[in-house]
Amino acid sequence: MSVPADQIWADIARPACDGHVAHHGPATHIVRIHQFDCCQPRGDRDPHALTPDGAIVLLLCLTCLSGTARRIQGDISNRLAALPRGTHHIACLTCGRPIACLHDILETERL
């Protein structure tokens, strides 16, 4: 049985998700993740792998985006909880970018 031509083109037009979940759909979002504490190119890192502001860019489905956002939020919460008494902010050790919430590290744009 052949697949309708419009279905073939629909599948081609949707980029694949860069996530690591076994059962995910096509990418639905462009995601920029600031590489907290390692946002500048080093000798062992491809300088083209990061955006000028130190982020990696991924194409993710909604499932992978949700999981990524939860992990980043957990990391931010853990770092905030580990701060000494009287300190209420964290910053990227590499560039000094202040980190107060998820959106300081994670930027998304719907495809």
pLDDT of residue 1 exceeding 70, the answer is no
| C-alpha distance from residue 71 to each of 7, 79, 84, 108 (Å) | 34, 12, 23, 15
| C-alpha distance from residue 62 to each of 28, 65, 89 (Å) | 6, 5, 29
pLDDT of residue 38 exceeding 80, the answer is yes
Does some domain include residue 3? Answer: no
Does some domain include residue 61? Answer: yes
Does some domain include residue 7? Answer: no
Does some domain include residue 1? Answer: no
Residues 6+ apart with CB under 8 A from 67: 19, 21
Does some domain include residue 2? Answer: no
Output helix, strand, coil percentages for the chain, rounded to the nearest 5: 30, 20, 50
Average pLDDT on 83-90 reads 85
pLDDT band at 47 (very low <50, low <70, confident <90, very high): low
Does some domain include residue 10? Answer: no
Does some domain include residue 57? Answer: yes
Does some domain include residue 8? Answer: no
Q: Which domain holds residue 69?
A: 16-110
Domains held by the chain: number: 1
Position 4 scores a pLDDT of 53
Quote the percentage of the chain above a pLDDT of 70.
78
